[in-house]
Structure 1
Amino acid sequence: MSDHKLFSPIKAGAIDLKNRIVMAPLTRNRARAEDDAPYEIHAEYYAQRASAGLIITEASQISPQGKGYAWTPGIYSDAQVAGWKKVTEAVHARGGKIVIQLWHVGRISHPVLQPGGADPVAPSAISANSKSFDGENFIDTTKPRALETGEIAGIVEDYRKAAANAREAGFDGVEIHAANGYLIDQFLKDGSNKRTDAYGGSVENRLRFLKEVVEAVTGELGADRVGIRLSPYSNANNITDSNPQETFVNAIDLLNRYGLAYLHLVEGQTGGPRDVPEGADLSDLYKRFDGVKMGNNGYDRDLAVNRVEGGDVDLVAFGRPYISNPDLVERLAQNASLNPWDQSTFYGGGREGYTDYPVLTETRAA
C-alpha cells in the first residue's frame, strides 16, 4: 500500500476507516421493482467495493413520497430493511464500513412515481424544470405542491424512522442527503423556498428543516454515526441561491453544534466543473467545520493525494471511477490504470455494468 496519507486510517465519528478513500453515493436504479428493496445483486456489488475506507450507498428514499426515480431503493419497509441487511453483512464480512444515504427528492418527481398519483411536495409550488425517470424514459418533473406547515413534522419523523431502520439493517451509520436540489436543499436555497412561515424567508428560517432533520437523526443514532452531504454552489436540478456563501456559512455553523461524523461537500457543480461562483470560498466552508471533511467532485489520484496531504480535506469520495473499478483503492495505491466505465449501463438493468467489471489481477491476467 502507498505511504501517502490518502491510504492511512482515520476515525470519522465512531466509525474507524482503514483508508481515506470513500465510495460516493451512486444511483444505479436496480432495486426490486415490486417493493424498491435491494437484494442479492446489491450485496455482491457493494461487497466487491469493501476495500474502500467507507462506502456510502446510493440515495435511498425515506418514504414512498420521497421517491423520484424508478427502481431506487428505500429504507422504510421491512422488505427493504431485510434486503439492506444482506448488503451490510456482505460488506462487513470483507472488512468494510458502510453507511446509507437518506433521501427525500421533494419536487424532483412526478405523479406516476408518487403514492396515489399525488403531486410531489416541496417548500414552495415552484417547478424544478428538471428530469425524473419512470422506468422507461426520462420525463419532465411536474409542478410540486407546497407543503403545509403541519406536514413538515411528519417528514422529519420519516427521517428518524429511516435512521432507526438503518441501524436495524446493520449500517455503520447514515448520511443525510442535503444536496443536489433535493428536498433539504430546496428548503435551504432561496430560489426554491419562497415560504412566509417559520421555514422560509431568513437564512435562519430556511435552515430550520435541516436543523430538525439533523436533530431527529442524531437523536436516534448518535451524532458520531451521522454524516451530511451539502452542495453549496451546485445548481443541480435547477436550484439556485442568491447568496450561497452566507447560506452555507450559517449551515455549517449550525452543524457544528452536533458533533457529526463528517461533512461531505460537493465542490463546484455536481458531476461538472469544480469552479465556484465569484465571491464564494470553498476553503472557508471547510475551515469552519469542526470535524472530518470529505471532498467530492472530479477527483483523480493526484488531486486526492494533494488535497489530503495539504490538509484541505480528510476524505475523498470517488463516484464514477467506483462504478468500473471495484478495487479502486488497490489501483490508486499502485498508481495503476483504471477500467473505463460504460455509461449506457449506469441506470437500470442487471449484472452487466454492475458486478462484472474486472479487478486488477484479472485485468493483468487477460
Structure 2
Amino acid sequence: MAKLELKNLNKTYNPKVIPVKDISLTVDDNEFLTLLGPSGCGKSTTLRMIAGLEEPTEGRILLGSEDITSKRPGDRNMAMVFQSYALYPHMTVFENLASGLKLKKTPRSEIQQRVTEVSQLLGLEELLQRKPGQLSGGQRQRVAVGRALVRRAQAYLLDEPLSNLDALLRERVRADIKQIFSTQKAPVVYVTHDQTEAMTLSTKVAVLNNGYVQQLDPPERIYNHPANLFVAGFVGSPQMNLLTLPCQERYAILGNFRINLPNIPTVPPQIVLGIRPENVRIARSEDTQTIQGRVYLVENLGMHNLVSVRIASSQTESPTVRALLPTDQNWSDAEITLALPPQNIHWFDVQSGDALRS
C-alpha cells in the first residue's frame, strides 16, 4: 500500500473565490483522516482534487512515490463513496458492486470472488439480486461502500456518506464504516461537517476554515488542545464557553471575580478564556478558582442539564457561563458557586485567535 500526500495544494476559481489555500498533509497506510469544517471551508473541493474531479491551480498530489496530479480519475487507483450513493438504478446490487471491475476487464471468476467477500463483510448476501429502489437508505449506503471496497484501491475517499441518513441509522452505519475501514490497509480520506463523525471515526482530523487547515491532529488533541478560537468553538457539543475578558495585573476579570492568567511573557489588555461546559462543576471546599452567579436557563439533555449562569457582576451586562450539571437537582433560578479547574481552562489571543500556551 502507499501513503497519500498533498503538497501546497491550491484551488482558485477567480481572485475572489479561492476555496483551497496552500494545503499540505500526509495520510499514511491504515490511517483514517477526516476533513472537518463548515460549508464552504474547502473540504469537498480538496477531496475532489484528490479524486481527479477538480484540477489544482497549484500544488501536487502524490500516491506512494507517484505524482498523480495530472492523472485522470480512472487512472488513480482510488475508490470514492459519494454523498448521493451514485448507484445505477437499473442494476442489481451484484451488478452495482461488479460494475467498476467489469470496466477494468477483471476476470469473471475474480469478480465473483471479490463481490462475495465484500457482500459477506457488509451483510449484503441476501440483497444481491435486488435493485437500489428496493433497498433502505442504510442498505444503499452499504452497497456504495461495497462498490469502493471491491476495487481494492490504494486509497479510499468518502464524501459525506452519512448525511442522507436519519440520526439512528447514521449512528449504526458510522459504526459499520469504522469497523470496515479499520481492516483496510490503505489511506482513507473522509469529508464531513459533523464533528461526531470526525471524532469517532478518525485517527487524524484536519479542521478546515476559509480554505486553510486550522489544525491537523488526532481527535483527542483537537478536542483537548484546540489550536485557535475557531477550532475551540467548532469542535464540541455543547460549544465551549468563550469569554473575552479584560486583564488586570496577572488576572482576567470575569464579572466580580479574578481568574489567574497563565504564565505568559506579556499580559495583554484583553484575553479570551475558554472552558468546556463539562469541565465547569459545582465548587468544592478545596477549589481555589471559583465564581458565583444565578441560573437563568436550564436545558435537559437527558444524562445532564445544560445550565446557563449569569455571573455576579457590578457591570451593566453580566457574563454567562454554561455548565453540564446533574439532573438530580432543580437548578432553576438557583444561586450557585462554580469551579473553573485551571487545568481545563484554555486561553486565546484576542487579535490572532491563537491558543496561548504557558
- TM-score w.r.t. structure 2 length? 0.35
Structure with more of its chain in strand, by fraction: 2
Structure with more of its chain in helix, by fraction: 1
- TM-score w.r.t. structure 1 length? 0.35
Structure of higher CA gyration radius: 2
